[in-house]
């Protein structure tokens, strides 16, 4: 009870500070609305998740308890060793880790295909056995490779895994990342390229993770892009631009409008908070982010 009061006080302070800076602004109203909604049930239009790495100082057991209080259904980017802890608290892992060689070494390099295929073929059955239906993957860096060649190489490698993914009903999801600020030289850095890869792979068990933060940096036009390419997107991540911090009045994106656009596409998957909190009370920031995205 003391923790909830503390968090409520922190959110009131956040909202009050915003009002002083931008009196009467829509952004301040969003922050105030998020604070007022604290402690109430979520509206149910968005399935809320969070990426654990952004809260690495909070032990997983404690984080699970706090996530449940906020109303989250999932904690993600965790591997098989952490899944039992999630289950203990009635949480799922909407986007598991557990395979591959990381962001820089991915499916655009044919020399890695055998190793990648072996890795994913070992983990995909574990994902299915845990009751999950997605797993993250990456294109890898360009290293001088053209987008056309990388597209072809990725499709060849991923097609080898589609029989296993289809058998276990697990979708491989390639993350769209920016190559300007955070992941220099990363290949899958535009939505159109990712959608073209989906077309080449030709399976409903290969989709995209549309990271709103990364794609705002790379191409902008977020809502129109989501509306155009939503059939290829099975997961979303948030983050404030610039800086990948709180998604409130300190950044440039209108997250309630983006969430409404996502809902209007008929999306039934998960939206995960993936911002790095700057404030001392990191859980208050998480609660606020969820409320900002919890559209009617």
In a domain, 103, yes or no: yes
Q: How far is CA 89 from CA 39, 69, 92, 249, 272, in A?
A: 19, 11, 9, 32, 18
* CA atoms in the 13 A half-sphere facing the CB of 145: 23
Instruction: Give the domain CATH number at 175.
Output: 3.20.20.150
* pLDDT at 35 > cutoff 70: no
Integer Cα distance of 113 and 174 in angstroms: 15
In a domain, 39, yes or no: no
Its domain, for residue 62, covers: 44-293
In a domain, 13, yes or no: no
Mean pLDDT calculated for residue range 133-150: 98
* pLDDT at 22 > cutoff 50: no
Mean pLDDT calculated for residue range 171-179: 98
Q: Domain tally for the chain?
A: 1
In a domain, 110, yes or no: yes
Q: What is the pLDDT of residues 88-125, one digit of tens each?
A: 999 999 999 978 889 999 999 999 999 999 999 999 99
Q: What predicted TM-score, i.e. pTM, was given to this entire model?
A: 0.89
In a domain, 20, yes or no: no
DSSP H or E segment with residue 174:
strand 171-175
Joined tokens for residue 64:
């699970």
Strand 206-211 relative to strand 171-175: parallel, antiparallel, unpaired? parallel
User: Left (φ > 0), alpha (ψ -120 to 50) or beta: where does 48 sit?
Assistant: beta
In a domain, 23, yes or no: no
Give residue for tokens 């399935």: 47
In a domain, 19, yes or no: no
pLDDT at residue 56, rounded to an integer: 96
User: What is the Cα gyration radius of the chain?
Assistant: 19
Integer Cα distance of 189 and 196 in angstroms: 12
Integer Cα distance of 164 and 205 in angstroms: 10
Strand order in the sheet with 270-273: 74-76, 47-51, 270-273, 233-237, 206-211, 171-175, 134-137
Integer Cα distance of 22 and 16 in angstroms: 10
What is the share, in percent, of the chain residues with pLDDT greater than 90?
84
Integer Cα distance of 155 and 87 in angstroms: 34
Runs of H (alpha helix) within the chain: 2-21, 26-37, 60-70, 83-88, 113-129, 147-168, 191-201, 212-218, 222-229, 255-264, 282-293
In a domain, 5, yes or no: no
pLDDT at residue 17, rounded to an integer: 46
pLDDT at residue 164, rounded to an integer: 98
Average pLDDT along the chain: 91
């Amino acid at each position: 009870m003391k923790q909830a009061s503390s968090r409520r006080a922190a959110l009131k302070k956040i909202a009050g500070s915003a009002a002083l800076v931008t009196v009467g602004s829509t952004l301040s109203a969003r922050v105030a609305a998020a604070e007022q909604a604290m402690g109430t049930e979520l509206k149910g239009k968005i399935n809320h998740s969070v990426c654990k790495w952004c809260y690495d100082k909070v032990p997983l057991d404690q984080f699970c308890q706090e996530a449940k209080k906020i109303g989250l259904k999932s904690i993600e980017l965790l591997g098989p060793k952490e899944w039992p802890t999630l289950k203990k608290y009635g949480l799922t892992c909407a986007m598991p880790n557990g395979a591959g060689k990381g962001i820089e070494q991915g499916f655009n390099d044919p020399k890695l295909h055998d190793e990648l295929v072996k890795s994913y073929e070992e983990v995909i059955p574990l994902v299915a056995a845990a009751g999950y239906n997605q797993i993250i993957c990456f294109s890898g860096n360009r290293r001088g490779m053209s987008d056309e060649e990388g597209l072809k190489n990725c499709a060849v490698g991923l097609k080898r895994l589609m029989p296993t993914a289809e058998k276990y009903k697990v979708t491989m999801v390639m993350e769209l990342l920016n190559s300007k600020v955070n992941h220099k030289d990363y290949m899958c850095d535009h939505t159109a390229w990712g959608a073209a890869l989906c077309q080449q792979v030709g399976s409903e068990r290969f989709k995209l993770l549309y990271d709103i933060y990364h794609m705002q940096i790379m191409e902008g036009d977020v809502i129109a892009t989501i509306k155009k390419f939503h059939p290829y997107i099975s997961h979303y991540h948030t983050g404030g631009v610039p800086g990948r911090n709180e998604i409130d009045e300190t950044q440039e994106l209108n997250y309630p409008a983006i969430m409404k656009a996502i809902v209007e596409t008929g999306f039934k998957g998960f939206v995960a908070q993936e911002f790095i909190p700057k404030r001392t009370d990191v859980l208050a920031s998480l609660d606020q982010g969820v409320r900002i995205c919890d559209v009617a």
